[in-house]
Amino acid sequence: MDFALIAKVWTFFAAAAWVTLQISALAICLGLCLGFAAALASISRNVLLRFPARVYVSIFRGTPALIQLFLLYYGGPQIGLQLGPFEAGVIGLGINIGAYMTESIRGAILAVEKGQMEAARCLGLGHVQSMRNVILPQALRLMVRPLGVNAVALIKGSAIVSTISVVELTYTAHRYISSTYKPFEMFILASLFYLVIVSVVSFAVNRIDERVALES
Amino acid sequence: MSNDPIIRIKDLHKSFGPVEVLKGIDMDVAPGQIVALIGPSGSGKSTLLRTINQLEDVTSGEIFFDGALVNRDLPHRQREKHLNRLRQDIGMVFQHFNLFPHLTAIENVTMAPVLLGRQTKTQALAEARALLEKVGLSDRADYYPSRLSGGQKQRVAIARALAMNPKAMLFDEVTSALDPELVGEVNKVMKQLAQEHMTMIIVTHELRFASDVADHVVFMADGVVVEEGPPDALFRAPQHERTKAFLQQVFEG
Amino acid sequence: MGLDFSILAGYEGVLVQGAIWTVGLTVASIVLSLVIGTLMAVFRLSGMRIVRWPVSFVIWLFMGTPLLLQLYLIYFGLVQIGLDLNAFTAGVIALSLHFAVYDADIIRAGIVAVDKGQYEAARSLGLSHAQAMRKSIVPQALYNVAPALGNMMIALLKESSLVSVIGVMELTLSAQRAISDTFRPFEFYLAAAVIYYVLNLVLEQAVKAVERRSAKYR
Ligand SMILES: Nc1ncnc2c1ncn2[C@@H]1O[C@H](COP(=O)(O)OP(=O)(O)OP(=O)(O)O)[C@@H](O)[C@H]1O
Ligand SMILES: [Mg+2]
C-alpha cells in the first residue's frame, strides 16, 4: 500500500466524489419525475398514455445504459441535440433509472389493496381523488425501499459517465491508475468514497422507510 | 315520506365471463326497510350488493335508486360523475373493513365529506365526533386503524359511511371476520341504526341477528331469489325445500 | 447532419461478429459467476471465520462499488501482478466476480430459506447426506433463487457492454469501430441498441422457461 501516494491524491478524489454526488442527485430527481409520470400513465385506462409508458420502460430496461448514454452524447448532435458531458450524463442516467423507477412505483401502487380503492369510490370520491388521497399516500410508503435500491444502483451506475469524460470518481481513479500504475490503491481510494455515499443513502432510505411505514 | 321503493331491482343478470352469477333478480326495498340477505356461500349475495352501487356493472336488467336508474348507459365521464353522486347516498360496509390505514379513525370519517365539499373541516370534525360517539368510540378518535380491534375498526367503518349521510346502507357480512366476542358491539350499532329507520340491506350468515333486526328476509341460492318474507314466516315455516335444507344446515351447524 | 441508415450496410458483419462476442462473453460470465457465487455462498455460511470474514469483506466491497471501477482494478491489477491476460479473459473475470457477489447473496439466502426440518426429514427417510442435499435441499434452494438469479443474468447481458472500455471487441466496441470509420454514431449505436434489445428479449424468455422448469421441483 502506497500511503504517501494516497495522501497526495485524495483531495482530487474528494472533488470527484462531489461530482459523482451531484450527477447522481440530479439524475435521481429526473428519474423520479419520469418514473412517477410513466407509472401513472402505465396504469391509466387510456391506451394513449399506457402504451408509450410501457414502451419507455421496455426500451430503457431492455438495452444497456452505456449505449443509451453514447446514443445521447455522441449521436445527439446528429439530431440537433448538442449536450455537454455533464448534462448528457444527468439526462442519460436519469432517463435510464426512470424506467426502473417506473416499475418500482407502479409495483407499489398496484400493491395497495384493491379494497382501498373500492372503499374510497363507495364514499363517492372520484377516481383521481381516490388515487390522490387514498392510494398514493399508501403507495408512497411502499415505494421508499424499492426506490432506494434504484437510487443506490444509480449512484454506482453513474460511473459510466466517466466514459464521456465527466471528471467524477471512476474517471479520476482510471486516470490515476494509468498515470501511477497503482490500481489497487486507486481502487481502494475511490471505493471509500463510493462506500460512504452508498452507505449514507442506504441508511437514510432505511430511516425514511421506518418513519413512514404503516403498522399492519 | 313516500312509499315508493328506494331501491328497486328488476330482472338483474350478472355474468363473470361465461359464468352467470345472478340469474334474474327482482327486489324492492322500501324507505326505512331492513332487509336481510341470506343464502349459501357463492349464491351471489355480495355480487348483488355490489351491483347496487355499481362496484360491479351488470349484464342486463335495471337498478333504481331513489327513483333514478343506476345503471344508465352513459359515456365514461358522465357515468363516473353520475356514480360519484349516487354513491354518496349509499353507504357500504365491507367484511374486511377497508379502513384507510394512513389516516386516524376520525380522519377516516371526515375525509370524504370534506373532499367532496359537503362540510367544512370544522363541521366535519364535529359531525365525526358525534358519529364516533354514537358507535361508542369517542376515545379512539385519534387512533390509527392498526391500533384498533376488529370490532372497533368495523364501527369506525360504519361511522365513515354514515358521515356521508346516506339514504341507505349496504352491509356485506360485516361481522364474519371478527372474533366471536367482538360481534356483539358491531351488531349493536346496526340495531341502533335499524331503530332510527335507516334503510339497510344486510348480508349475513347470522340468522338469529337477521331475525332480530330485519323486517324482511330474502333467501338467495344459485343466483336467484328462492324465497322471501318476514323473518318469522321465513324462518319458522319456509315454503321451499332449498330454504328448509339451508336453514336446517345452518341451525345444526 | 441528418440520419442515414443505409450506412449500416456493409457493417452487418462487424455488428454480428460483435453480437456473437457479446453472447459468448455473457454466457461465459454467467457460468463462471454462478460457480464463484456458489462457492462464496458456501464460504459465507461456513463455520470457519478465516474463510467467512474475507469473503464477506469482498462481497461488501464489491456490492458498494461500480462495475466499471472493478473492471479497471482487475484489468490493470492483473497486469501489475504479472498476469498479462487478454482483454476478453479480463472482462469475463471482472463480470463474473461482480455478479458472483450478488449471486452469492441470493444463493445464501436461498439455502438458509430451505427449512432445516426438510433436511432432517429427508435423512430420517433413510437418505444419505449427499442424497438429501441432491434430492431435497438443492432443488428447493434452486427454486427459491431462480427468479433473482435470472434477473442477475439479464442484468449481466446489459452490463457486459462496459468491458468495451478495456478493449473487448464485443458489440459496443464493434459499433464504436464502425463509427470511427463512418462518423455516424447515431445510426450505429441505435443498431447496437436494437441488437441488445433482441438479445435481452431472448434471454428473458430463456430465463422464464428455466423458472417454469424449476417450479416443477417445488
Ligand atoms: N370478480 C369475480 N370474477 C369471477 N367470478 C366471481 C367474481 N366475484 C364473484 N365471483 C363468483 O360469483 C359467485 C357469487 O359470488 P358472491 O361473492 O356474490 O357470493 P356470496 O353469496 O357473497 O358468497 P359468500 O357467502 O361466500 O360471500 C361465486 O361463484 C364467485 O366465485
Ligand atoms: Mg359474499
B149-165 tens-digit pLDDT: 999 999 999 999 999 99
Q: Give the ipTM of the model, two decimals please.
A: 0.94
Tens digit of pLDDT for each residue in A99-110?
999 999 999 999
How far, in Å, CA of B79 to CA of B95, rounded?
27
* Mean pLDDT of the C189-218 span: 89
Domains, chain A = 3-215 (1.10.3720.10)
- Is pLDDT at C63 greater than 90 in this prediction? yes
- Give the pLDDT confidence score for residue A95 in this predicted structure: 98
Least reliable range by pLDDT among B164-178, C98-112, C118-132: C118-132
Task: Give the one of C66, C175, C201 whose C-beta lies nearest to A157's C-beta.
Answer: C66
pTM: 0.92
Q: Is the dihedral of CA A72, A158, A156, C23 positive or negative?
A: positive
Give the ligand with the smallest distance to the CA of B40. 1
Residue located nearest, by CA, to atom 2 of ligand 1: B16
Least reliable range by pLDDT among B131-145, B204-218, C72-86: C72-86
Q: Which three cell numbers stand for residue A210?
A: 421506518
Chain C partners within 8 Å of A194 (Cβ): 64-66, 69
* Mean pLDDT of the C191-208 span: 96
Q: What type of residue is C179?
A: I
The answer to whether position C2 is within a domain reads no
* Mean pLDDT of the C12-29 span: 96
Whether C contacts B, i.e. 3 or more CB pairs less than 8 A apart, is: no
Domain span at residue C201 reads 7-215
Give the ligand with the smallest distance to the CA of B94. 2
Beta bridge partners of B62: B10
Q: Which three cell numbers stand for residue A94?
A: 436519469
Write the DSSP string, B33-56.
-EEEEE--TTSSHHHHHHHHTTSS
Least reliable range by pLDDT among B195-199, B229-233, C40-44: C40-44
Host H or E run for residue B63: strand B60-65
Instruction: Please indicate whether residue B51, judged by its CB atom, sits closer than 6 Å to ligand 1.
Output: no
Distance from Cα B59 to the centre of ligand 1, integer Å: 15
- CB of A31 closer than 8 Å to CB of A154: yes
- CB of B6 closer than 8 Å to CB of B30: yes
- Is pLDDT at B2 greater than 60 in this prediction? no
Least reliable range by pLDDT among B157-171, C104-118, C141-155, C181-195: C104-118
Residues near A213 by Cβ (< 8 Å), separated by ≥ 6?
A141
The answer to whether position C35 is within a domain reads yes
3-state helix, strand, coil in chain C (%, to 5): 85, 0, 15
Nearest to C29 by CA among C103, C80, C79: C103
- Give the pLDDT confidence score for residue C112 in this predicted structure: 82
A216 → chain B, closest CA residue: B146
Q: What type of residue is A212?
A: V
* Mean pLDDT of the B214-226 span: 95
- Give the pLDDT confidence score for residue C1 in this predicted structure: 59
- Give the pLDDT confidence score for residue C56 in this predicted structure: 87
The model's confidence at residue C52, banded by pLDDT at 50, 70 and 90, is: confident
Chain C partners within 8 Å of A62 (Cβ): 196-197, 200-201
Number of domains in chain C: 1
Instruction: Please indicate whether residue B41, judged by its CB atom, sits closer than 6 Å to ligand 1.
Output: yes
Which of the residues in chain A have pLDDT under 70? Answer: 216
- Give the pLDDT confidence score for residue C111 in this predicted structure: 82
CA distance B8 to chain A (A): 19
Q: Which three cell numbers stand for residue B32?
A: 326505512
Coil, strand or helix at B130:
helix
What percent of chain B has a predicted confidence (pLDDT) above 90?
94
Task: Give the one of C72, C162, C172 whose C-beta lies nearest to A183's C-beta.
Answer: C72
The answer to whether position C184 is within a domain reads yes
Give the ligand with the smallest distance to the CA of B45. 1
The model's confidence at residue B112, banded by pLDDT at 50, 70 and 90, is: very high
Beta bridge partners of B37: B203, B218
Task: Give the one of A59, A183, A194 whose C-beta lies nearest to C64's C-beta.
Answer: A194
The answer to whether position C59 is within a domain reads yes
A125 → chain B, closest CA residue: B84
Residue located nearest, by CA, to atom 8 of ligand 1: B47
How far, in Å, CA of C149 to CA of C158, rounded?
15
CATH code at position C26: 1.10.3720.10
The model's confidence at residue B48, banded by pLDDT at 50, 70 and 90, is: very high
CA distance C124 to chain A (A): 39
Neighbours of B133 (CB within 10 A): 13
The answer to whether position C1 is within a domain reads no
Q: What is the DSSP letter of B102?
A: T
- Give the pLDDT confidence score for residue C183 in this predicted structure: 92
Whose cell is 394513449? That residue is: A48
Interface touch A115/B164, C-beta < 8 Å = no
- Give the pLDDT confidence score for residue B148 in this predicted structure: 96
- Give the pLDDT confidence score for residue B1 in this predicted structure: 47
- Is pLDDT at B251 greater than 80 in this prediction? no
Write the DSSP string, C64-121.
TS-HHHHHHHHHHHHHHTT----HHHHHHHHHHHHHHHHHHHHHHHHHHHS-HHHHHH
Distance from Cα B47 to the centre of ligand 1, integer Å: 6
What percent of chain B has a predicted confidence (pLDDT) above 70?
98
Per-residue buried b or exposed e for C65-90, using 16+ beta carbons within 10 Å of the residue's own CB: bbbbbbbbbbbbbbeeeeeeeebbeb
CA distance A131 to chain C (A): 31
- Give the pLDDT confidence score for residue C218 in this predicted structure: 59
Chain A partners within 8 Å of C70 (Cβ): 187
